Structure 1
Amino acid sequence: MKVIAPVTHSEWAAPIVCVRKSNGKLRVCAGFSTGLNKALESFDYPLPVPEDIFATLNGGAVFSQIDLSDAYLQIELSDESKKMVVINTHRGLFQYNRLPFGIKTAPGIFQQIMNKMVAGLRGVATYLDDILVRIEKCSFAKPEIRYLGFIVDKNGRRPNPEKIEEIKSMVEPKNVGQLRAFLGMITYYATFMPTMKDLRGPLDALLKKDMKWEWTSKQQTAFEKLKKALSSELNLAHYDPRQKIVVAADACDYGIGCVISHRYGDGSEKPIAHASRSLTAAEKNYSQIEKEALGIVFAVKKFHKYVFGRKFLLLTDHKPLLAIFGDKKGVPVYSANRLMRWATILLGYDFDIEYVNTTKFGQADGLSRLMRKHEVENEDVVVAAVEND
């Protein structure tokens, strides 16, 4: 497709970072956050909201999903635009002839093109899809499909139980530290579920000074009731891209957890979905900053459909990550190779990152400490995968 072409000089030049993909091939990524993205005006083409898509699918009985690849590279750039998307490599300067990954206006541009392509087709909805079909990721003629936290079938839509599975499967605390993490979640969400404070008495008793740790049926009953309250639909917000999106991620010695929420005008937050997993044997040997960074990458990839193409706020309780993931001057050269690869994954997302004190980070801390055991990908796959499902 003649994606790139050499040039002798340019007013713009972005650095590159090479990422090894799971199939062993290298992907060259450009760090456009170093200048071009900051200079570009926002392209506020309206991305579809769930209600619009569900309305389009309403009345259907058989559904198909098509997952595509290399979408942006199908879009040829004008000569003026080509001058701006230049990368600086060890072999000289190269300009993109087609829309590259990492340009902040790319999602809106591509959505506009997709909408034009399917205009007039009844029962067809698009959301940031690609052009070349990956058959292994497609589903055809299914009685139901899953999209943005919902299951859609001939009867309409209903919440996807996977949104609360991580809460329902949390294991009971084994010590005071894990109990404090769980109660931190209760405190964080108590605004929406005032009755939670009436259920936590048996658990609070174990935090009293000189109290011997003894997990009895009283504590187990209180724990199960609180999990049920946490996973209630009353405590979950339906995804609305018009509201502010917040993603919080945390890590401990043996697990990572994350939650995506909406932040409302009064400053309150309500969760949309949760996710967590245990660390592999190799990941448990990571430094703490690497574990925290892995948690962030896991969160962004897990919630890709919610956050890609939209501005969101990323929260962490590990302050050093602000310099690595929040620096708009590009990926720091002093970053370890693993951190650099993860920072490259985040180049395609539009976010601000903020530090939150651990004592006020209950929404993610509890998930990382009390998650069930999960089967996870090989470490090289996890750190090198740039594409998202």
Structure 2
Amino acid sequence: MLDGSNPKQGKIWKKATLTFSFDGRTMTHDFLISPIGSHNAVLGIKWLKKEAPDIDWSTRQLSLTIDPPEKATIAQEEEADDSPLTGIPEQYHVYAKVFGEEEFNKLPPHRHYNIGIKLTEEGPLNSPLYSMTDTELVTLKEWLEAKLKAGKIRPIMTFGLTNAPAAFQYFMNDLFQDLLDVYVIIYLDDILIFSKNEVKHKFHVHKVLQRLETAQLFCKGLKCEFHHTRVEYLGIIVSDQGFSLDKLKIQAVQEWPAPTTVKQVQSFLGFANFLRRFVANFSHMARPLHNLVKKEITWKWTEKEQEAFDNLKRAITEAPVLAHADPDKPYFLETDASGAALGSVLSQQQEDGRLHPIGFLSESFKGAEVNYDTHDKELLAIIRSLEHWHIFLESTHDPITIFTDHHNLEYWKESRTFNRRHACWHLLLSDFNFCITYRPGKQSGKPDALSRRSDHADIPPDNQSMLPQSVFANLATTKS
């Protein structure tokens, strides 16, 4: 016997199949009935061969190993398509493999993009290991299998491993590297194909599907849209007219109830910040709400916060359509600078003969910039705007028309007195083809309003140290 005793043995007179529990596991085994003294039962060699328990001979203890994990059937998040080619134009049916459910449900082939984790041999563990008893492990495994089958949980990457999206984006960028920004835009698994006309578009779609098929990447047909002039992409409506907000997002903002806690304010601002590119003066309108979430501020929802909340909702609801930038059309840039901030609007003339905005810019001056004189602030507003939209404005064929309400900027190229800052600015401006046109402030409503927002305080310049009079060779004096 394992405990060192010698069992008594009598005549075997019967055989019985019994169910019993041992070490947290329920099992069934055949027993021979015989007098064996004080022992209730003896588990012999047949049982040992079948169950293969772990035996610690030094302590004379026996324990059962945990069964290897079984594959649990994970509840499907979506039902499989009965006809995966439904909604797919017939001309793309030759790529049926790309949309096939059978291929989609197979494991992908090994690629050189696969993530590998290199462990330092005998290196320290980054987190402690928590031991569990065999009974706890059995219970945990049963719980996991039940939840997986019910669809309440699903396998994910190990907590702390955050490189999967970046690795997949790198894979997609490498796969379509010669097509990116030519007629393909990719964000993770969202592929947008754009073309100037339908003939080119069909050719472009064929190229993308061919590459997906070669790389053994597959699409779900019901999630694909083909040959549209208006599509929702990453929360923005993209059409042949420009960029606009999704009606569902506008509706969500319209129906948003007034916040009653700091967390609810943070939630609303987080949602609204995504839409700020469509709203002029966004930061000005949202400032009372931003002030409310500061740690040192006590929660107090007053008429000022309610007005800011309502104005922000109204501005998002009435957000304009931002036009597409057309490199074949001339650009118009309206700039203005106030005591503490700059504002600008980039526009192009559309078919209706009017200027339509492509984007808005409004930001505060920082540090020493607040002390610049009016000429330098107005010139800095132009420079910041050109840098912000440099992907559109650098090296244009037609000169960019820049409207300013500072008359002296018309002659900036003729200036003969440069300091180091001016020299740097002139070097930067040499990359742009533009002409500056004077327009009185009354005619520059949009950029003027952006630069003179109430949240940009009209900060007076600091006192500046000037050279003493004694250093001048000639000093002119006047008497009043």
TM-score range, shorter chain: 0.3 to 0.5
Structure (1 or 2) with the greater strand fraction: 1
User: Structure 1-normalised TM-score?
Assistant: 0.41
The higher relative CO (CA closer than 8 Å, separation ≥ 6) is in 1
Higher CA-based Rg: 2
